[in-house]
Amino acid sequence: MVRYEDNCCNCATEDYPCLGKYCPRRNIKVLECDKCGDDAVEKLYIYDGMELCSSCVLGLLEKIEY
């Protein structure tokens, strides 16, 4: 699944005010595998209505041996 996190680090100071909704740390896109819950993936793949990481989607595919 795709979710957004607020990673505010309270970096505002008297000389550098908070940027509010324009802050690049405010809405960080996080990709999370629906099966294993890994949230450090770079890509997700849709398989059977789920958004999966490459490891999980490969584990669900049938392997053909020649």
How much of the chain, in percent, has pLDDT values that exceed 90?
A: 79
Q: What is the pLDDT of residues 39-62, one digit of tens each?
A: 999 999 999 999 999 999 999 999
**pTM of the full structure:** 0.74
pLDDT, position 21? 85
Give dist(CA 17, CA 41) in Å, integer: 32
How much of the chain, in percent, has pLDDT values that exceed 70?
A: 100
Using CA atoms, how far residue 47 sits from 6, 37, 54, 57, 64, in Å, is 28, 15, 11, 7, 19
Question: What domains can you pick out in the chain, each with its CATH number?
Answer: 2-60 (2.10.110)
